[in-house]
Structure 1
Amino acid sequence: MPQRTEPPRRAALNHSPEALRWARRAKGWTQRQLADVIGVKATSVSDFERGTRSAPPDLLIKIARAFRCPVSMLEAWDPQDREASRVLDQISALVRPANREAA
């Protein structure tokens, strides 16, 4: 009987897909808009948000600058973590004024 092989394990992500998606939506941007700002294809942003691909450190910095938040706010988020909720509130506070300026 042939041996069963396990699928390759994915490398750990260097960002939180949930935090990235949340921050983009809080800003009111589409994936394409974020992609244009950081200089990648919309499919890359989709991959980052689905967690199928890690965002390179230089892109995390660009994303954080676009959202006016520290990179650390995009690095780790557990939906069950109360501290994470506080961090997302901080992102929201930083992102929302940018929405008003653009209006």
Structure 2
Amino acid sequence: MANGSGRVCRHTVVDVFNRRESVMPSRRGPKNPLNHEPEAVTYAREQAGLTKTQLAAACGVALSLISEIESGTRNATPSMIRKLADALNCPPVVLERKRTQDTHPVTEFDGVDSR
């Protein structure tokens, strides 16, 4: 295959793709747990009567970001949660992940029951 300089390129598209895969780092998944509830974002958007495209435009972001936030493959930053809440006319707390305290009360200490 000629490359415009008269020389023949011996690389195929597959070679270039495989090289790119080995050189480029893979994207990490979202933070676990997420800052937002993906289902809540979708529900609020549907209740507001907006499409993903309309919500993206209202927030000033790409459609792909909205899709990733709703699917849970991308974490919504606190500022993004505020933008979504403003566009959806709902309080930010509706869209935020509900935190639960991971409490494991100690009922026994050094063999003595503390109850």
Instruction: Please say if residues 30 and 75 of structure 2, whose CA atoms lie closer than 8 Å, have aligned partners that are also in contact.
Output: no
Counterparts in 2 of 1:41 and 1:76: CA distance versus 1, 3 Å = same
Among the aligned pairs, what percent are the same residue? 41
* Larger helix proportion of the pair: 1
Moved over 6 A (4+): none
The one of 77, 88, 99 equivalent to 1:67 is 88
The one of 72, 76, 82 equivalent to 1:51 is 72
Which residue in the other structure is 2:35 paired with?
A: 14
- Please tell me whether residue 76 in structure 1 is matched to residue 97 in structure 2: yes
Distance 1:67 1:17 in 2: 14
User: Gaps (5+ residues) in structure 1?
Assistant: 1-7, 78-103
The root-mean-square deviation of aligned C-alpha atoms, in Å, is 1.6
Structure scoring higher RCO (CA < 8 A, sep ≥ 6) equals 1
Larger Rg: 2
TM-score using structure 2 length: 0.56
